[in-house]
């Protein structure tokens, strides 16, 4: 029988998985849309990046109006999930190649600012000495939910409408179920958002390095997640027996993103024991190498792609939660809200640029070289976190610089 803590943690994790299926539902349906209509790379990129645009806008709005303090977190989660589900479902009534598609995806992204960050607030009410593990668990839920549309799309065949309906229904269920969540202790007042202090995220030496580590991580993460399905489909189609490439690509895309769930949990567990800097350095080094090795794996037998997907998927997200935790621990308490918001917003702005860059990289280098330039992000992130580890300020991090 689950205790009150783990019953509520399990409930919240389940809700996050269901709600986050909306994030990549647009990317997952691109192959199906291309079976029915002409969809350019720029239109496909706009569908993916509009969610990031929306998330930045939603995060800034939530922080500026301190919505978590003004609205019960469970209610904010429910409203956000239901609104996002409605916007996602509305894509069935428009031309997917038209101008309204990015608008609806923007709304989905804006509402996700009331799902994932609010989930962090909810789970924090149960944290004790296991912050890294529980935050890693929530990131695992985000990761599994993000990959789920590829699996849903597999069951729906080439009918992209099935994926839209299923992900919308799952998000709506998540919003309603979240009302059953009971906090472990009263929610603490959110740290005030002070736009005038945003520059400190880049001028304070320790915060700057922690943020640069996160930015390097984000240069790679969402661009890879957004385009991995097409990369895999193109690779599998080159190999003998490529007739089943579309279906197998969906399964491998889910495997790649879904592997990150295990990586997030393991990352949180290890960060609580070996330190945040060691964990982030190791994870980014592996994922950066995978950006390079992906080119060698392109067109290779399926088992090579499976290995790449598992290793890359596990490492690419294992460090994500630890960057936020690092900024929280390095910031003065009164500035935490501003520092976390600044980190998140700049990071997602970078994802917009790299999501749009990948189609151009494909044109220039082909899929065998498209992900290689993205390796610069995690490698620069490694340097930033290594420098942070050498600073006295790193002793403020949980477990210090170990």
**Each residue's pLDDT tens digit, 352-400:** 999 999 999 999 999 999 999 999 999 999 999 999 998 887 776 765 5
Residue 57, judged by CB atoms within 10 A of its CB (0-12, 13-18, 19+), counts as middle
Name the nearest CA neighbour of 229 among 23, 37, 30, 18: 30
Q: Residues, the chain, total? A: 402
149, 167 in Cβ contact below 8 A? yes
Q: CB neighbours (10 Å) of residue 396?
A: 14
Question: 181 by DSSP, 3-state: which?
Answer: coil
Whose structure tokens read 């069951």?
155
* Residue 142: closest CA among 312, 265, 20: 20
Which token pair is 393? 């300020």
CA distance 83 to 382: 38
Assigned CATH class of 197-402: mainly alpha
CB 331 within 8 A of CB 339: yes
State how far the Cα of 29 lies from the Cα of 159, in Å rounded to an integer: 8
Q: Where are the domains of the chain?
A: 1-182, 197-402
- At 323-363, the pLDDT tens digits run 988 888 888 877 777 888 888 899 999 999 999 999 999 99
Homologous superfamily (CATH) of 1-182 is MFS general substrate transporter like domains (1.20.1250.20)
284 within 8 A of 213, measured Cβ to Cβ: yes
pTM: predicted TM-score of the whole model, two decimal places: 0.86
Smallest CA-to-CA distance from 342 within 195, 243, 217 is with 195
User: What are the residue ranges in the chain where pLDDT is below 50?
Assistant: 401-402
Specify whether the CB–CB gap between 51 and 79 falls below 8 A: no
Q: For residue 124, which of 388, 389, 340 has the smallest C-alpha distance?
A: 340
């Amino acid at each position: 029988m689950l205790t009150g803590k783990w019953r509520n943690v399990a409930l919240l994790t389940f809700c996050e998985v269901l709600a986050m299926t909306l994030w990549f539902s647009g990317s997952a349906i691109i192959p199906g849309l291309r079976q029915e209509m002409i969809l350019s790379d720029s239109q496909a990129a706009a569908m993916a990046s509009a969610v990031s645009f929306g998330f930045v806008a939603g995060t800034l709005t939530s922080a500026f109006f301190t919505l978590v303090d003004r609205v019960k977190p469970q209610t904010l989660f429910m409203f956000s999930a239901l609104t996002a589900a409605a916007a996602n479902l509305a894509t069935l009534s428009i031309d997917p190649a038209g101008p309204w598609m990015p608008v609806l995806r923007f709304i989905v992204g804006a509402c996700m600012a009331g799902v994932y960050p609010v989930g962090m607030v909810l789970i924090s009410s149960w944290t004790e000495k296991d912050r890294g593990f529980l935050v890693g668990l929530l990131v695992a839920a985000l990761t599994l939910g993000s990959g789920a549309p590829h699996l849903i799309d597999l069951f729906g065949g080439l009918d992209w409408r099935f994926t839209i309906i299923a992900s919308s229904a799952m998000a709506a269920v998540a919003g309603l179920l979240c009302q059953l969540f009971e906090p472990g202790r009263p929610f603490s007042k959110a740290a005030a958002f002070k736009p005038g202090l945003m520059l400190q995220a880049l001028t304070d030496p320790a915060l700057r390095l922690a943020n640069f580590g996160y930015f390097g991580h984000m240069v790679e993460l969402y661009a890879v997640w957004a385009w991995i399905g097409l990369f895999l489909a193109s690779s599998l189609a080159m190999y003998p027996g490529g007739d089943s490439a579309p279906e197998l690509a969906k399964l491998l895309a889910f495997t790649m993103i879904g592997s990150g769930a295990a990586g997030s949990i393991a990352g949180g567990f290890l960060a609580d024991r070996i330190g945040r800097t060691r964990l982030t350095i190791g994870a980014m080094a592996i994922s950066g190498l995978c950006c390079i090795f992906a080119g060698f794996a392109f067109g290779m037998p399926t088992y090579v792609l499976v290995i790449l997907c598992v290793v890359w998927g596990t490492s690419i997200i294992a460090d994500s939660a630890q960057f936020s935790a690092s900024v929280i621990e390095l910031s003065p308490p009164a500035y935490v809200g501003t520092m976390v918001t600044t980190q998140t917003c700049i990071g997602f702005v970078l994802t917009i640029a790299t999501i749009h860059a990948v189609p151009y990289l494909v044109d220039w280098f082909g899929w065998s070289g498209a992900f290689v330039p993205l390796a610069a992000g995690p490698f620069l992130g490694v340097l930033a976190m290594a420098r942070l580890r050498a600073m006295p300020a790193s002793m403020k991090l949980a477990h210090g610089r170990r």
